[in-house]
Chain A
Amino acid sequence: MRVMVIVKASADSEAGGMPDARELAEMGKFNEKLAEAGVLLMAEGLQASSKGVRVRFDGKQRTVIDGPFAETRELVAGFWLWQVRSMEEAIEWIKRAPLFDGGMEIELRPVAEMEDFGDAVTPETIREYETKVLKKAAKLREKAAKH
C-alpha cells in the first residue's frame, strides 16, 4: 500500500525558512534509511503558501486567491509518498523521523487504491461503466466510418 505522509506548515516554513545544513543532513540520513528499506517513492517540500494560489469554485464562477493563507497548522509544507506493507509500518517509520521534536503533527493517509473504493466500485459497476463507454466508443467509430 502507499501512504502519503503530510508535513504541516509552521510559522518558520511559512516565513520561507529553509532547514539549515545540519537539519538537511539529518533529514537526508532518514531519507537514506527509507530508500535503503525500499520504502521511499517520493519526497517533496513545498514552497511557502505566499507563492501559491487557491482557486475557489462557486457555481460557474472561479476566483483565484493569492497566498499567503492563514490557518498555518492546516497548510501542507511537504510530503512523502511511501510504499509500505501496512499502516503500522508507516507509523513505525514516521516515529523515527528527525526534526519534528519541537512539536509537530504529521498526518499519514493511505492512498486510495482500486480495491479501496469498496462497494462504490464493484465488478458489476466497473462492467456497467465499461459497457457504457464501449458502446459510446462503438457509436463514435460508426459515425467516423460514415464520414
Chain B
Amino acid sequence: MTTADVHRTIETVWKIEAPRLIAGLARMLRDVGQAEDLAQEALVVALERWPHDGVPDNPGAWLMTTAKRRAIDQLRHNRMRDDKQAALDYELQPDAMTHAPDHADALDDDIGDDLLRLIFTACHPVLTRDMQVALTLRMLGGLTTPEIARAFLVPEPTVAQRIVRAKRTLAEKHVPFEVPRGEDLAPRLAAVLEVVYLIFNEGYTATTGEDWSRPALCEEAMRLGRVLAGLAPREPEVHGLLALMEIQASRLHARTAADGTPILLLDQDRARWDRLLIRRGLAGLERVEQLDGADGNYALQAAIAACHARALHARDTDWARIAALYAKLAVVAPSPVVELNRAVAVSMAEGPEAGLNLVDALQNERALRDYHLLPSVRGDLLFKLGRCDEARAEFERAAALTGNARESELLRQRAEACVER
C-alpha cells in the first residue's frame, strides 16, 4: 500500500468509526467536546503510524484503545484538578487497559445507547440550528469541516467556528450526555428529527447537477435516519421521517430535465423513480402503522408522498386520500402552506371550484403575503374555471414574487396564455 492508499483507508475507517469512538469516549468523559478532540488525536496518531506499521487488523479497536488511553490520562488529570467530579468513577482500573481490545469490545455492547445519546446531545436545544447541523454531520457523519462547508456552501471558517462554539456551549451549559426520558423525550426527539430533515432538504432542494456533494447530503440524512430507526425502533415518527425521506429521494433522478429545468411531480417520468427506495419507504410506513403512529407529522407527510409513489401514472393519483391526509396534517402541524397544499389536493379530487374556496380563505394570511405559490395556485384554479383575466393577474403577481428566474419565466408564459384564450 502506498502512503496515499493508507491515508485513504484511514479516512474511510475514520468515517465509519468516528461516531462510535466519540460516543464511547463521551460516555466516559461526560464531555462531547473533549471526546471529539480525543478521537481526533487518535486519528492523528493513526496517520503517523499506519503508513509505517501497516493498517491494523481491527482498525476500529486500535483507534478506540489509543483514544481511551488518552481519555484515562485526561480523567486522571481532571481528578487531580477536581476530586469530586462524578465522572471519575467510571472504569478507572488501570489493568483494564492491558486488555485493551476486550475493553473496546465491551464498550461495543452499549454503543447503540451511546450513539443515541450522541445524537441527542448534538441536537440539544442550547445550540442554534446551524450548530446542531454542523455538530451532527461532524460527529455522526464523520464529515470533515471542509466537507460540511462544501455541502452547505458556506466558508470553512464559519463551519469551524460553529463547531467550536457548539462544543464550548455544551460544556459551559453542562449539557448531560443522555437521552431524555418521559415527557421530555417527545419535544427533544422532534428537534433531532428536524435537524436530520433539514440536512436532507438542504441536499434535496439543490437540483442542478454541478455540485454532487449535495445529493450526497440527502444520502447522509437518510443514513442518519436509518441509524435513528435502528436506535429508536419504537418511535413511529423516526420511521415516518425515514419513509418520507426515502420516498422523496426516490424521485431525485426524475425531478430535473437534462438541461437542469425542474420537472414538476405530475410531469415526472415515473419509470425513473427509484423502486427500492419506494419499497423501503412503504415498508417504513407499515411499521409506523403497527406502532400506531400514522397521525404523526412526518408519518402523514410520508403517507402523502406514498400516494404519489403508489400511482404508476400521475392520472392514477388518489387525490381524495391526499386531501384527507392534508386535512389531518393541518390539525397536527397547522400552517398556511399545508392549507394551500390541501386546497390543491381538494381541487384535484373535487374540482377547481372547491379548491378555490379554500385558497380564497387564505388570501389574508400574513405568512403567505409574499409566497408566490399562493397566486400561482389561485391563477391555475381560476384558469381552469375559465376566469382568464383574473388568472392572468394572479400569474403576473406570482411571477413578480418568485426569486427563481426559471419559475418566473414559466409563470409569465402562463399569464400570456391567459390572454390568448
Query: Which B residues touch A42, using CB under 8 A?
Result: 276
Query: Which A residues touch B11, using CB under 8 A?
Result: 88
Is the CB–CB distance between A83 and B258 below 8 Å? no
Q: Which of B9, B59, B224 contacts A88 (CB 8 A)?
A: B9
* Residue interface mask A98-119, B partner, CB < 8 A = 1: 0000000000000000110000
Cβ of B333 within 8 Å of any chain A Cβ, yes or no, is: no
The answer for the CA separation of A35 and B272 in the assembled complex, in Å, is 27
B117 CB, min distance to chain A CBs, angstroms: 14
* One of A12-20, A51-59, A71-79, A120-128 at the interface: A120-128
Q: From known contacts A114-B253, A126-B258, A127-B258, infer whether A83 and B219 are also in contact, taking CB-CB under 8 Å.
A: yes
Considering only residues 226-243 of chain B, those with a C-beta below 8 Å from chain A are: 226-227, 230-231
Is the CB–CB distance between B12 and A37 below 8 Å? no
The answer for the CA separation of A74 and B231 in the assembled complex, in Å, is 37
Q: Which of B15, B212, B227, B258 contacts A124 (CB 8 A)?
A: B258
Query: Which A residues touch B387, using CB under 8 A?
Result: none
Considering only residues 185-218 of chain B, those with a C-beta below 8 Å from chain A are: 209, 212, 216
Q: From known contacts A85-B216, A88-B8, A88-B9, infer whether A36 and B111 are also in contact, taking CB-CB under 8 Å.
A: yes
Is the CB–CB distance between A89 and B16 below 8 Å? yes
Cβ of B13 within 8 Å of any chain A Cβ, yes or no, is: yes
Cβ of A140 within 8 Å of any chain B Cβ, yes or no, is: no
* Residue interface mask B1-32, A partner, CB < 8 A = 1: 00000001101110110010000000000000
Cβ of B259 within 8 Å of any chain A Cβ, yes or no, is: yes
Considering only residues 276-317 of chain B, those with a C-beta below 8 Å from chain A are: 276, 280
Query: Which A residues touch B9, using CB under 8 A?
Result: 88, 92
Is the CB–CB distance between A36 and B216 below 8 Å? no
Cβ of B222 within 8 Å of any chain A Cβ, yes or no, is: yes
Residue of B nearest to A128 (CB): B258
Which of B231, B258, B259 gathers most chain A CB within 10 Å? B258
Q: Which of A38, A41, A81, A130 contacts B258 (CB 8 A)?
A: A130
Query: Which A residues touch B262, using CB under 8 A?
Result: none
Cβ of A86 within 8 Å of any chain B Cβ, yes or no, is: yes
Residue of B nearest to A35 (CB): B230
Q: From known contacts A88-B12, A92-B9, A92-B13, infer whether A37 and B258 are also in contact, taking CB-CB under 8 Å.
A: no
Is the CB–CB distance between A36 and B112 below 8 Å? yes
Residue of B nearest to A124 (CB): B258
B13 CB, min distance to chain A CBs, angstroms: 6
Cβ of B328 within 8 Å of any chain A Cβ, yes or no, is: no
Q: From known contacts A83-B223, A88-B12, A89-B12, infer whether A41 and B253 are also in contact, taking CB-CB under 8 Å.
A: no
Residue of A nearest to B212 (CB): A115
Is the CB–CB distance between B227 and A36 below 8 Å? yes
A119 CB, min distance to chain B CBs, angstroms: 14
Query: Which B residues touch A88, using CB under 8 A?
Result: 8-9, 11-12
Is the CB–CB distance between B276 and A36 below 8 Å? no
* Residue interface mask A23-58, B partner, CB < 8 A = 1: 000000000100111111110000000000000000
A96 CB, min distance to chain B CBs, angstroms: 8
Is the CB–CB distance between A38 and B225 below 8 Å? yes
Is the CB–CB distance between A36 and B231 below 8 Å? yes
Cβ of A93 within 8 Å of any chain B Cβ, yes or no, is: yes
Is the CB–CB distance between A37 and B227 below 8 Å? yes
Q: Which of B12, B226, B253 contacts A35 (CB 8 A)?
A: B226
Q: From known contacts A38-B222, A123-B258, infer whether A85 and B15 are also in contact, taking CB-CB under 8 Å.
A: yes
Given A36-B115, A123-B259, 18 more A-B residue pairs with CB atoms under 8 Å apart are A32-B230, A36-B112, A36-B227, A37-B16, A37-B19, A38-B222, A38-B227, A39-B223, A40-B226, A85-B15, A85-B219, A91-B12, A92-B9, A115-B212, A123-B258, A126-B258, A127-B257, A130-B257
Q: Chain B: residues with CB nearer than 8 A to chain A? A: 8-9, 11-13, 15-16, 19, 59, 111-112, 115, 209, 212, 216, 219, 222-227, 230-231, 253, 257-259, 269, 272, 276, 280
Listed from nearest, the 8 A-B pairs whose CB atoms lie closest are A38-B223, A123-B258, A38-B226, A88-B12, A126-B258, A38-B227, A127-B258, A35-B230
